[in-house]
Structure 1
Amino acid sequence: MAPTKGPTKAQKAWLARGLAQPGGKLPLFDHNGRRVSTRLVRACLDAGWAEPWFANPLKPDWHICKLTDAGRQVAGAA
């Protein structure tokens, strides 16, 4: 599904953090140690910029994601 508009500043910043990670893994926590908003993660998943990587059996409500090719393009433009 192609996004109809570009990412927000917060979405772009989150996606950009995955560029330097092995496999494009996206962080679960922000720079202040707070969990990244589920709403932000869901918006990026829905836009096709991120995809689920694997399920966390200890924390099934946490979305462990990685960048998609489209996400890398969006993050690279940050």
Structure 2
Amino acid sequence: MGAGPVAVKGAAAKGSTKRPTKAQRAWLARGLEQAGGKLPLFDHNGRRVSARLVKACLDAGWAEPWFANPLKPDWQVCKLTEAGRRVLGSAP
């Protein structure tokens, strides 16, 4: 008996065939408009982006931590990765 598929997380997911949800895709796409691919902390309605959504994108390798936020250390500042650009169809 062979083993079943193995879940791939983090940087190893860059070659993954997993696709983002509609909400993840919308958040990631906003990084295409920002310098350095910075991803927003807040949605278009001014609400903080879900930590669960951010973690899922980090785990998939579509986003990566950018720098520590000294004013709000519990807020994860992220940027779009090349894998994120590829999954959006915007890789150079």
- The alignment's TM-score, normalised by the length of structure 1, stands at 0.91
Q: What does residue 72 of structure 2 align with?
A: 59
Deviations 1:31-69 (A, max 9, x none): 000000000000000100000000011111101000000
Q: Distance in 1 between matches of 2:41 and 2:55?
A: 13
Q: Distance in 1 between matches of 2:39 and 2:86?
A: 15
Asked if the contact 1:24–1:67 (Cα under 8 Å) also holds between the matched residues in 2, the reply is yes
Q: What does residue 10 of structure 1 align with?
A: 23
Q: Distance in 2 between matches of 1:72 and 1:43?
A: 16
**What fraction of aligned residue pairs are identical, expressed as a percent?**
82
Of 21, 32, 47, the residue aligned with 1:34 is 47
Q: 5+ residue gaps in structure 1? A: none
Q: What does residue 83 of structure 2 align with?
A: 70
Using CA pairs below 8 Å that are at least 6 residues apart, which structure has the higher relative contact order? Answer: 1
Moved over 4 A (4+): none
How many residue pairs get aligned? The number is 77
Asked if the contact 1:13–1:75 (Cα under 8 Å) also holds between the matched residues in 2, the reply is no
Q: Which has the larger radius of gyration?
A: 2
Residue 75 of structure 1, CA deviation = 2.4
Superposed, which structure 2 residues align to 1:36-51 within 5 Å?
Answer: 36-51=49-64
Q: Distance in 2 between matches of 1:44 and 1:11?
A: 7
Residue 4 of structure 1, CA deviation = 5.5
Q: 5+ residue gaps in structure 2? A: 1-11
